[in-house]
Amino acid sequence: MIMSEPQPILDPLTPAAIFLVATIDAGGEAVVRDTLADVQGLRRSVGFRLPGAGLTCVTSIGSAAWDRLFAGPRPAELHEFPGFVGEHHQAPATPGDLLFHIRAQNQDACFELAMTIGDRLAGAATIVDETVGFRYFEQRDLLGFVDGTENPEGKGAYAAALVGDEDPDFRGGSYVIVQKYLHPMAEWRALSVEQQEKIIGRTKLDDFELSDADQPADSHVAVNTIVDADGAEREILRANMPFGSVKDGEFGTYYVAYAATPSVPELMLTRMFVGTEEAAYDRLLDFSVAVTGTSFFAPPLDFFDELPPPPDAGTAEHVQPNDIGSGSLGIGTLKRSMHA
Ligand code: HEM
């Protein structure tokens, strides 16, 4: 099997992150294509001047944007975020064509790259959400619980997060879901630590999972632990970051999950919002309000080296000047199908 190199999806959590979500303006497709082809170069220019910053960027593309940008094969399971409606809580679907998940040890590195990408997209795409994420104490969320402990590691992380042989054109890619959640902090703080632990399903100070006897069926951990009939756990790779604004009274968790198939995080969201056989919904939702929700696909790195031709590149007259400028010969599809 030829493994396409993934984007830096499996990298460990960093102290700083910026999430940029953008929509493509009418007629902005050619500039966006050029920018997508250049993101790793821009990242090198910024990151090389900041040794030790570990600057990375994972670039992802939404379902409708895919058809506006590229001819040729699509990732097999790419679709819009469906939204989830439960009796008590809802997860809205919100616009987004592009996601730039920028991570580094320091915020200056993230900001410089975000600004550079924003400059390149000016006039071609509109940034509809910018969230500055930060590490909060020992990888805790703003609710005070350590977040990320049970993420899969090693081979398990590859299997959970990356597309494999089931979609050879997009091997090494990953499906991405992002959601912004806001926490009503006063209500959360009014609970005892013991009540909070029953809602999350782990202890607060030292982050141990509650015993089966103490684990409520509607805790966040119980609702999100999904075991197949053959005993295998269905997993995703989460890279959540806290964010907030004291002025706006916003205290939140930016949820970002990478998965080999969107069906796994979508099943988790169904269980959280619509319920399971044992739980009406995930109790964490009483203290976490979803305000955005968007789905994307993060292609493997070599996809950006040779972008597929644009959808209207059938004849020579339709080749965009920008495509010539970017050095693309429009043979991306051919090259990619040879990889397969
Ligand atoms: C308000 C937003 C969220 C917060 C604050 C949050 C927080 C947490 C915390 C503290 C844990 C326990 C430690 C750990 O294993 O990471 C956890 C586990 C987990 N969360 Fe979330 N989470 C949020 C949203 C979500 C969403 C939307 C999903 C899936 C759609 C999800 C999926 C999971 C999974 C799969 C686990 C691991 C369960 C296990 O195997 O023990 N989380 N989360």
SS (H, E, C) 177-223: EEEEEECCHHHHHCCCHHHHHHHHCECCCCCCECCCCCCCCCCHHHH
Q: Is-contact 99 6, C-beta < 8 A?
A: no
164 CA to centre of ligand 1 in angstroms: 24
182 CA to centre of ligand 1 in angstroms: 15
Query: What DSSP state is assigned to residue 64?
Result: H
Q: Is-contact 144 242, C-beta < 8 A?
A: no
Mean pLDDT score of the chain: 92
Phi, psi angle pair for 95, to nearest 5°: -65, 155
Nearest residue (by CA) to ligand 1, atom 34, is: 224
Q: Quickly count: other Cβ atoms within 10 Å of residue 234's Cβ.
A: 17
Residue 314 has a pLDDT of 54
87 CA to centre of ligand 1 in angstroms: 21
**Domain limits, the chain:** 16-339
Instruction: Tell which phi-psi region holds residue 218, choosing left (phi > 0), alpha (psi between -120 and 50) or beta.
Output: alpha
**How buried is 121 (Cβ within 10 angstroms: 0-12 exposed, 13-18 middle, 19+ buried)?**
buried
Q: Is-contact 166 274, C-beta < 8 A?
A: no
Residue 292 has a pLDDT of 98
N-term to C-term CA, the chain: 9
Q: Quickly count: other Cβ atoms within 10 Å of residue 333's Cβ.
A: 18
> Which residue from 270, 299, 307 is spatially nearest to 86, judged by alpha carbons?
270
| pLDDT (average), residues 176-180 | 99
Per-residue pLDDT reduced to its tens digit, 189-200: 999 999 999 999
Ligand 1 neighbours by CB, cut-off 6 Å: 141, 143, 145-150, 179, 181, 200, 202, 220-221, 224-225, 236, 238, 253, 255, 257, 265, 268-269, 284, 288
Does residue 147 have an active-site annotation? yes
The CA-based dihedral angle spanning residues 312, 313, 315, 317, taken in that order and rounded to the nearest 10 degrees: 90
Q: Is-contact 255 282, C-beta < 8 A?
A: no
> Residue 235 CA: which ligand 1 atom is closest?
35
Q: Is-contact 161 257, C-beta < 8 A?
A: no
Give the separation between CA 123 and CA 113, rounded to whole angstroms: 18
What percentage of the chain reaches a pLDDT higher than 90?
Answer: 90
Q: Which of 34, 147, 167, 218 is catalytic?
A: 147
| pLDDT (average), residues 172-195 | 98
pLDDT band at 322, cuts 50/70/90?
Answer: very low
Residue 243 has a pLDDT of 98
> Residue 202 CA: which ligand 1 atom is closest?
12
Give the separation between CA 9 and CA 99, rounded to whole angstroms: 13
Give the separation between CA 212 and CA 227, rounded to whole angstroms: 15
Residue 313 has pLDDT above 90, yes or no: no
Nearest residue (by CA) to ligand 1, atom 12, is: 147
Counting ligand 1 atoms within 8 A of each CB, the residue from 208, 215, 240, 285 with the most, and so the one to mutate, is 240
Nearest residue (by CA) to ligand 1, atom 9, is: 147
Nearest residue (by CA) to ligand 1, atom 37, is: 150
Nearest residue (by CA) to ligand 1, atom 41, is: 221
| pLDDT (average), residues 255-270 | 98
Residue 337 has a pLDDT of 37
Which H or E element spans position 330? none
> Residue 272 CA: which ligand 1 atom is closest?
30
| pLDDT (average), residues 12-20 | 97
Residue 2 has pLDDT above 60, yes or no: no
147 CA to centre of ligand 1 in angstroms: 7
Q: Tell me if the pTM is above 0.85.
A: yes
Nearest residue (by CA) to ligand 1, atom 19, is: 221
Residue with tokens 């703003």: 142
